Structure 1
Amino acid sequence: MTTPSSRIPAMDVLRGCAVMGILWMNIAVFALPAQAYFSPAAAGPLSTGDILFWTVSFLAVDGKMRALFSMLFGASMLLLIDREEMAGHDGQRTQMIRAAWLFVFGLAHYLLLWSGDILMIYALVGLAALLFVRKEPLALVKWAFLFFLAHFLVCAFFITTLHAWSHAAAAPDAASHIPAGFADFIGSFSDPAHPAIRSEFEIYRGNYAGIFMHHVALFGSQWLTTLPFVTLDTLGFMLLGMAMLKGGFLTGRWQAEQYWRTARHCFLIGLLPMAGLAWWVIASGFATLPALGTVLAWSFPFRIPLAVGWAALILWLFTRYRDRRLTHRIAAVGRLALSNYLGTSIVMSATFYGWGLGLFGQVRYSLLPLLVIAAWVVMLLWSPLWQRRFALGPMEWLWRTLVGGQTQKIRNSD
């Protein structure tokens, strides 16, 4: 467990950027039906501003910030294990206990607040990542890309089966239930009048009890089915983060020019094909198969260099502006990453759900960035203020207390 004196400032800044960036993508699922994550058309007709927001999100943020956070999670695992072992403890056992409590936090987050939780995934995948902690950087990179390939094949196979279903539904001699079933599936992702989408509006505009019971039902029926689509890539990025830590990349030890060259090359590799995919989805009118296929599968190979590119760009800026006030504020956000992640869920749920302000489905897609920026400002203000008096964030303190089995000191003066 990291103590304030052993923090790595470069990783804190990266973590702060990742937490803020994740909210940029997550806000659509707080504010709109979950299907809008794959296609904003699920929430209704799109304006030019809506399409612009989707395009920027898809090119710059979608999957990249979660990948960056996964890399940092893998690197932090190594740091924790090393520190525990240097103190004469069993580092891997501590990580297992840590993962168990993280799963509990994630489950509570999922059921009580928001069904888009990622903590449970990190807890489970982190256990699998323990099998690789002793490997050399090159071996970690090879394993990471093996898991990336497996993830892509799983997603591509799923999308291919949907295209096969589409062709079967269009066949002249198709049994009536085939085109009807396919039309119902397509409508559940694209038609605001579809019962699946209408029910999302009704549930999240309703009371807390109804939302809670909906989350319980989702966990029992859908959560396990989503695992194949989120675990393999997460494991790959965790292993890549371990390799990047061992190589000194994540600690800010590279020269500024090295970070700049890495960022430039990665963005050159990833942005052009991503722009082509974005154009294809927009030109299709956000048709379900192009939109779903692009978000799930076809964009994934390009997310990898873009995630690394973001890390390199942030670290390039860090090496040049490490003493700026904004840099210190972002680092403070990163040091309170768990508190900020869960805190945004509380604030956004209270903003959009029926038990709060009840704005679910009433804020245009193009206006969501304004709420994100407002949340960023709050994070950048409260995080350093909290750290002036406290060594740990509230959720970080609770996590470490539970893992250590004894109350941790929290005040800086203690």
Structure 2
Amino acid sequence: MQTSESRYITLDAMRGFAVMGILAMNIIGFAMPEWAYITPAAYGGETFADQMAWLFSFVFIDGKMRGLFSLLFGASLILITDRASSNGESAAQVHYRRMAWLAVFGLVHYFFIWFGDILFLYAMAGMVAFGFRNWAPARLVKWALIIFSLGLAFWGLQFGGLQILQYLATQPDASADLVRQYNDVKSSPDFSFDIPAQLDLHRGAYGQIVADKLADWPALFGVVFMSIAETLPLMMIGMAMNKSGFILGSWSSADYRRWAWRLVPAGLIATGLLALWMIMNRFDMVTAIAIMFFWGAIPRIMLTIGYAAVLILLIARFGSSPLLSRVAAAGRAAFSNYLGTSIIMTTIFYGYGFGLFGEVSRLGLWAYVLTMWAVMLAWSQPWLKQYRYGPLEWLWRSLARGQMQHMRR
């Protein structure tokens, strides 16, 4: 675990687990109306089996894999900029060219492939994170927690206030004014499931799907606004983890076990209680969105870091296994796997492809997830035995460097 080669295997394998795990949640966005991701009451929660599928994903996966990817993005930022400096290059130029092209990929992904893009968000957060790259680990963690807390306070005021309004407006003696305010919120476009329109749109032609996203272009920047206070702190923590050796697998097994025991059980219990709260409220949309943005944020970050510790222990234990080497290869080609998955899944579910949007149950979607995982594990390793990069990794690197990169080994 202490050699340079092992450190890269650790990062690659963790990235592989993350890109596979992200699909387990993104599949809902590929196959169902957008609100189905937030609450099964919107769509896909009719049967007990579907509710159990939601429960598993909510407790163990939702947000944690994306969080793990954010940690790894921050760690890689340090590796790439340090390598650039050691090669006599301008770290700033190398980094900002990479982020600029990542933003372009994100825009193409969002407008022309799938609305659930995170690349543009990562590019924006990455541009900010670069300014902190010379900070000491303790300072990075301190300010990451401050930024995270400020975002948490903002969402607490927004959605905690909405929950208070909901409670007061649904009391038997509620004033007419409170009831009116609450009904105005529930009937606003932001809180409208609008399921028939979503089904018609995504079962329709490619042109109308693209036109809808182009017409609603500010929504892309809304994603950045809503997510930056969680994504940027996680990147900063990933930078600190690189500098301290945590995410490179340099700590002792006892240290990783200690952090795993501190964070994973408590995070799972807290998330389980939040799931119980949603179930008791019959997956109410106000409760669901408040949990997503506010109440679930601390357990989510606990599990993200705890999962990182667990994965590092597993990679150390099974580092020589053929399966783990395939996971690591999927991580080395994570960019290709992420965008490739979007292309394949939208083709399967959208109307211009096989038109299965809204037709597959939550439980049934796991068949598509497992199949795509098998595809990722099957193609990545043979490809990387012949080529230095995944196809989109090569394109990104060539564009950022301003010259064609050598591809074959």
Q: Normalising by the residue count of structure 2, what TM-score does the alignment of the two structures yield? A: 0.94
User: Are 2:87 and 1:87 aligned?
Assistant: yes
Task: Provide the secondary structure at the position in 2 that maps to 1:8.
Answer: helix
Partner of 1:340: 337
Q: Indicate how the Cα distance of structure 1 residues 288 and 276 shifts in structure 2: closer, same or farther if over 3 A, else same.
A: same
User: Could you tell me which amino acid in structure 2 is paired with residue 390 of structure 1?
Assistant: Y
User: Structure 1 vs Structure 2: percent identity of aligned residues?
Assistant: 39
CA RMSD of aligned residues (A): 1.9
Q: Indicate how the Cα distance of structure 1 residues 168 and 83 shifts in structure 2: closer, same or farther if over 3 A, else same.
A: same
User: Could you tell me which amino acid in structure 2 is paired with residue 84 of structure 1?
Assistant: A
Q: Distance in 2 between matches of 1:175 and 1:274?
A: 31
* 1:151-197 deviations in Å (ceiling 9; x for gaps): 211221220342354367554332886354234249945xxxx5x22
Checking the alignment, whether the CA contact within 8 Å between 1:168 and 1:174 is kept in structure 2 is no
Query: Within 5 Å, which residues of 2 pair with 1:305-324?
Result: 305-324=302-321
Checking the alignment, whether the CA contact within 8 Å between 2:99 and 2:127 is kept in structure 1 is yes
Q: Distance in 1 between matches of 2:290 and 2:189?
A: 13
Q: Distance in 1 between matches of 2:190 and 2:387?
A: 50
Partner of 1:38: 38
Question: Per-residue deviation at 1:395?
Answer: 0.4
Question: Per-residue deviation at 1:144?
Answer: 1.0
Q: Which moved more, 1:160-169 or 1:95-104?
A: 160-169
Q: Distance in 2 between matches of 1:408 and 1:226?
A: 33
Q: Indicate how the Cα distance of structure 1 residues 157 and 329 shifts in structure 2: closer, same or farther if over 3 A, else same.
A: same
* 1:71-114 deviations in Å (ceiling 9; x for gaps): 11011111111111111111022101110000000000001110
Query: Within 5 Å, which residues of 2 pair with 1:249-328?
Result: 249-328=246-325
Q: Distance in 2 between matches of 1:186 and 1:56?
A: 29
Partner of 2:107: 107
Checking the alignment, whether the CA contact within 8 Å between 1:186 and 1:288 is kept in structure 2 is no
Partner of 1:157: 157
Given the alignment, which residue of 228, 231, 237 partners 2:228? 231
Checking the alignment, whether the CA contact within 8 Å between 1:155 and 1:296 is kept in structure 2 is yes
Question: Per-residue deviation at 1:7?
Answer: 7.4
* 1:340-384 deviations in Å (ceiling 9; x for gaps): 000000010001000001000000112111211111010000000
User: Could you tell me which amino acid in structure 2 is paired with residue 287 of structure 1?
Assistant: D
Aligned length: 403
Partner of 1:73: 73
Q: Distance in 1 between matches of 2:245 and 2:140?
A: 14
Query: What are structure 2's unaligned runs of at least 5 residues?
Result: none
* 1:211-242 deviations in Å (ceiling 9; x for gaps): 1111112323x222333220111000000001
Partner of 1:181: 184
Q: Distance in 2 between matches of 1:73 and 1:104?
A: 17
Partner of 1:359: 356
Partner of 2:243: 246
Partner of 2:132: 132
User: Could you tell me which amino acid in structure 1 is paired with residue 20 of structure 2?
Assistant: M
Query: What are structure 1's unaligned runs of at least 5 residues?
Result: none
Partner of 2:11: 11
Partner of 1:219: 217
Question: Per-residue deviation at 1:50?
Answer: 1.1
Partner of 1:50: 50
Task: Provide the secondary structure at the position in 2 that maps to 1:43.
Answer: coil
Checking the alignment, whether the CA contact within 8 Å between 1:32 and 1:360 is kept in structure 2 is yes
Partner of 1:199: 197
Q: Distance in 1 between matches of 2:60 and 2:373?
A: 17
Q: Distance in 2 between matches of 1:255 and 1:163?
A: 44
Q: Normalising by the residue count of structure 1, what TM-score does the alignment of the two structures yield? A: 0.93
Question: Per-residue deviation at 1:258?
Answer: 2.5
Q: Distance in 1 between matches of 2:55 and 2:13?
A: 26
Q: Indicate how the Cα distance of structure 1 residues 299 and 176 shifts in structure 2: closer, same or farther if over 3 A, else same.
A: closer
Checking the alignment, whether the CA contact within 8 Å between 1:154 and 1:229 is kept in structure 2 is no
Q: Indicate how the Cα distance of structure 1 residues 322 and 179 shifts in structure 2: closer, same or farther if over 3 A, else same.
A: closer
Checking the alignment, whether the CA contact within 8 Å between 1:284 and 1:290 is kept in structure 2 is yes
Checking the alignment, whether the CA contact within 8 Å between 2:7 and 2:249 is kept in structure 1 is no
Task: Provide the secondary structure at the position in 2 that maps to 1:230.
Answer: helix
Q: Distance in 2 between matches of 1:176 and 1:39?
A: 23
Checking the alignment, whether the CA contact within 8 Å between 2:36 and 2:44 is kept in structure 1 is no
Question: Per-residue deviation at 1:148?
Answer: 1.3
Q: Which moved more, 1:4-13 or 1:338-347?
A: 4-13
Q: Distance in 2 between matches of 1:69 and 1:134?
A: 21
